[in-house]
Amino acid sequence: MGQKVSRIGVLTSGGDSPGMNACIRAVVRTGLFHGLEVFGVLRGYSGMIDDEIQPMDSKSVANIIQRGGTILKTARSKEFRTSEGRTRAYANLQKHGIDGLVIIGGDGSFHGAKTFSNEFNIPCIGVPGTIDKDIAGTDFTIGFDTAVNTAVQAIDKIRDTADAHDRLFIIEVMGRDAGYIALHSGISTGAEHILIPERKTDMEALLISLQEKEKRRKLVNLVVVAEGDDFGGANEVSKIIRERLPNTDIRVAILGHIQRGGSPTCLDRVIASRMGYAAVGSLIEGRHNVMVGIVNNRIHYTPLDNAVKAKQRISEDWMKIFKILAS
Tens digit of each residue's pLDDT (9 = 90 or more) over 277-291: 999 999 999 988 999
- Give me the residues paired with residue 55 across strands: 39
Catalytic site includes residue 99: no
| Burial class for 212, CB neighbours closer than 10 Å (0-12, 13-18, 19+) | exposed
Q: What is the pLDDT of residue 163?
A: 86
SS3 content of the chain, % helix, strand, coil (to 5): 45, 20, 35
Tens digit of each residue's pLDDT (9 = 90 or more) over 100-134: 999 999 988 999 999 999 999 999 999 999 999 98
311 pLDDT higher than 70: no
Q: Per-residue pLDDT averaged across 182-193, rounded? A: 93
Q: How sure is the predictor about 155, in pLDDT bands with cuts at 50, 70 and 90?
A: very high
pTM of the model: 0.92
Cα dihedral 43, 44, 49, 52 sign: positive
Q: What is the pLDDT of residue 170?
A: 94
The whole-angstrom separation of Cα 200 and Cα 313 is: 14
Q: What is the pLDDT of residue 318?
A: 84
Ordered structural domains, the chain, with CATH: 7-143+264-309 (3.40.50.450), 145-260 (3.40.50.460)
Helices H / strands E in the chain, number of each: 11, 11
Q: Per-residue pLDDT averaged across 181-191, rounded? A: 94
State how far the alpha carbon of 53 is from the alpha carbons of 85, 92, 129, in Å: 16, 8, 21
Q: What is the pLDDT of residue 216?
A: 65
| Burial class for 298, CB neighbours closer than 10 Å (0-12, 13-18, 19+) | exposed
Which residue is catalytic, options 107, 132, 134, 229? Answer: 132
* φ/ψ of residue 104, rounded to 5: -100, 115
78 pLDDT higher than 80: yes
236 pLDDT higher than 80: yes
